[in-house]
Chains A and B, each alone.
Chain A
Amino acid sequence: MRRVINRPFLTQFLTGAVFVGTVTGLLLLLQSLNPVWFEPPIVVLAYLLAISLTSQWAGFYPSAAAAIIAFLCFNFFFIEPRLSLLVSSSIDSLVLAVFLGVALVISRLLGRARRNAIQAEQRERDAARFYELSLALISTRDPGDIAATLANRLRGILSGPVEVTLQPDPNAPPVRRSAPDGDLPLAAPSQLEIIKSASGTFGEIRVWNAGPLTPGNERLLRTFAGETALVLERLRASRAETRAAVLEESDRLKTALLGSVSHELRTPLATIRAGAESLLSGLVPADSSAGREILDDVRDASQRLTRLVDNMLDMTRIESGALKPALEWTDLTEIVNSAALRLRNETGRHRLEIDVPDDLPLVPADPVQLDQVITNLISNSVKYSPAGTLIRVIARREDDARMLVQIANESPRMPPEDLARIFDRFYRVTHADKVMGTGLGLSICKGIVDAHSGRIWAENRPPRAGDDSRGFIFNISLPLTWNGAAPRMPPPE
């Protein structure tokens, strides 16, 4: 890298002297070779060239010094009387005076131009470094990474070790990173820069530089500190925003849940209360057929309440991330069969067909949760498909890594825009009053399947010849491996 500004002062002055000396020598040589060509304007131009070069090379002061040396040499070697600093003619005095003036003006102008060029270059370099730092900081959200990035970038520019301390969260302990890694000097740092923005202090940068920082590096240090403060401020804000969004979402959920369940809770509660009161009043004897009917209703209502409360608890658990499946190698056949057995009253008006091969592989699943998914989907099929139609549960190995489970029914085809949304909370395709339920069942299924690293989606059955009006399929894709491995099979007998 060209670092003109730091070249030792003496060298710079010598550079000027060497230029002027060389020009003087060349001029003397030219004069001795061919005195006819030799004219004072050539001397003036040659010296001005040397001074310009010095100015370009070393800046104003060396070039001003070179101008004075040139002035003296000009006078000494080329102005009558030669080899003396005396001047005989007044014209020559004027020439010399003008020469010195022009030389100094050129030095000044070129020196300034040079300084501007150097500053521009410096700024460009700083801008590039700043841009690199910004890019590096954007790519991370971890305070430790941010501190390390900052320390390493500064270490690449400054001459001494750098330590960065950050505390973006006032309630968390600060993070400290240094470059190079390892022990820092025991002495007090040569520079201390506080990382702060309008909204507060985020930490500090400590530098052990060999000497004082150049103004450029000092500016860079401040800029880096400012940029880091901005990044941390943004981070703090985005965290607060995330928390706010979560709270808002959970608030919205609670409102929706209350709205949805209050009706659902009231209906069975009213049934139970009315039933109990009419039996207590003695108007309907408990052992009459009317009494038994009331008791049946009470039992059904309490079962509905149980399901409702279970669903609400499950949804809360899914929302709070507390739904952790207790995985074990599970036989889906068992799950499907026991669900079918338990639902035999509910599915009484439909035909339930189970199509599962005998050699279906085991899946890593929480059997209770998986049971709930299958139960919910069968129940849902019962609710939405006409009595007497077929509900099929199909399970197949899809490939070595996944199993596909399908629950197909003959409910009406669903508009494509609804297909993706039926797993949303409280989303119900038909009118709320037509079918009982909170609209939570399918979203619970999705929560459970997601927690199993599976996928659940719904589709309309491809139309078949002669029957294109109905058909709807729930698909579940489940992994067949657990931590990348298939189940261990017992040794053969």
Chain B
Amino acid sequence: MSNVPLILVIDDELQMQRALRKILDQNGYRVMIAATGEDGLALAAASPPDAIILDLGLPDMDGTEVCQNLRAWTQTPVIVLSARDDQRQKVLALDKGADDYLTKPFGVDELMARLRVALRHGAQISKTADPIVKGEGIEIDLARRIVTRHGDEVRLTATEFKLLAHLARNADRVLTHRAILNEVWGMEYTDQVEYLRVYVRQLRAKLEADPHRPVVLLTEPGVGYRFVAQ
């Protein structure tokens, strides 16, 4: 495998295919393109890509189905592209294993940023993850379970740390409410969004320079939360 990451684009719109091919090409990626979910799955199996950009509105199958199908055998990062009114489908795709999402129309910078995060995360799956994660002004030592802000230790409750650690381990990726609740509180709490709201508010009060203008723990309205790493 060459060092140039291979990106699989699964999208049926010709203009989108052309635009993505050009953009990815210029940014130094190799590109494969599939117009249907079935072709996409076949291509992904034939020559495993480093990341997949998946449009949710495919002609032959539901994008979330493609996600689920992929996750049955590979952890390759998946970024889903969705129309604005596909809120539910987008969240569903994320719950089914997609790593991130972009709402059409999106900016090139945004796409590249998301792709870099996805590739970094994909690379980490095979290696041991870095035990230290940094955000604006804070440092989290996942191994020693210590959180510091400008060098001073911040005291967190057990649940607060569990939540922060989970977000930090998935730094720069969006995590859905359901996924976070399942990880931190357990399966029977996946609808208890209010728990999450309360704890995120507490964490922001302890970690953010200005809890009203958070820069580390970002809200993705209607989707979930994102830890912004430095």
Interface, chain A (partner B; CB < 8 A): 302, 306, 310, 313, 317, 326, 328-331, 333-335, 337-338, 340-341, 354, 356, 358, 362, 366-368, 371, 487-490, 493
Contact = CB atoms under 8 A, between A and B. Distances in A.
Contacts of B199: 490
A487 B194 contact: yes
B221 A326 contact: no
B219 A338 contact: yes
Contacts of B135: none
Contact of B212 (A317, A354, A488, A493): A354
B212 A356 contact: yes
A333 B157 CA distance: 23
Contacts of B212: 333, 337, 354, 356
Given A338-B221, A493-B157, 6 more contacts: A328-B177, A337-B213, A367-B219, A367-B222, A487-B197, A490-B194
Contacts of A371: 221
B214 A337 contact: yes
A437 B81 CA distance: 27
Nearest to B189: A490
Contacts of B205: 358
A368 B87 contact: yes
Interface string B194-220: 110111110001000001111000110
B84 A489 contact: no
Contacts of A326: 87-88, 222
Contacts of B185: 490
A368 B194 contact: no
Given A310-B84, A341-B213, A356-B212, A489 B222 contact: no
B192 A328 contact: no
Contacts of B84: 310, 313
Interface in B124-173: 157-159
Contacts of A329: 193-194, 197
Nearest to A368: B222
A396 to B, nearest CB: 15
A340 B213 contact: yes
Contacts of B192: 488, 490
B191 to A, nearest CB: 9
Contacts of A354: 212
23 contacts: A310-B84, A313-B85, A317-B85, A328-B177, A331-B197, A331-B219, A334-B219, A337-B213, A337-B214, A338-B219, A341-B213, A362-B194, A362-B198, A367-B221, A367-B222, A368-B221, A368-B222, A488-B194, A489-B194, A489-B198, A490-B159, A493-B158, A493-B159
Given A313-B85, A334-B219, A335-B221, A362 B159 contact: no
Contacts of A330: 193, 197
Given A333-B201, A333-B212, A338 B194 contact: no
Contacts of A338: 218-219, 221
Contacts of A366: 222
Contacts of B158: 493
B117 to A, nearest CB: 19
Nearest to A360: B201
A371 B157 CA distance: 30
Nearest to A355: B212
A143 B203 CA distance: 59
Q: Which of B159, B177, B192, B221 has the most CB of A within 10 A?
A: B221
A251 to B, nearest CB: 24
Nearest to B225: A334
B86 to A, nearest CB: 11
A490 B213 contact: no
A272 to B, nearest CB: 13
Contacts of A490: 159, 185, 192, 194-195, 198-199
A356 B213 CA distance: 12
B159 A302 contact: no
Interface string B100-115: 0000010000000000
Contacts of B87: 326, 368
Nearest to B157: A493
Contacts of B222: 326, 328, 366-368
A339 to B, nearest CB: 9
A341 B88 CA distance: 24
A310 B194 CA distance: 29
B18 to A, nearest CB: 15
Nearest to B218: A338
A371 B219 CA distance: 11
6 tightest CB-CB pairs across the interface, nearest first?
Answer: A329-B194, A487-B194, A368-B222, A367-B221, A490-B195, A334-B219
A335 B218 CA distance: 11
Nearest to B213: A337
A302 B108 CA distance: 14
Contacts of B194: 329, 362, 487-490
A490 B198 CA distance: 8
Contacts of B105: 302, 306
B50 to A, nearest CB: 29
A341 B217 CA distance: 13
Nearest to B159: A493
A328 B177 CA distance: 11
Contacts of A335: 219, 221
Nearest to B193: A328
Nearest to B195: A490
A358 B84 CA distance: 31
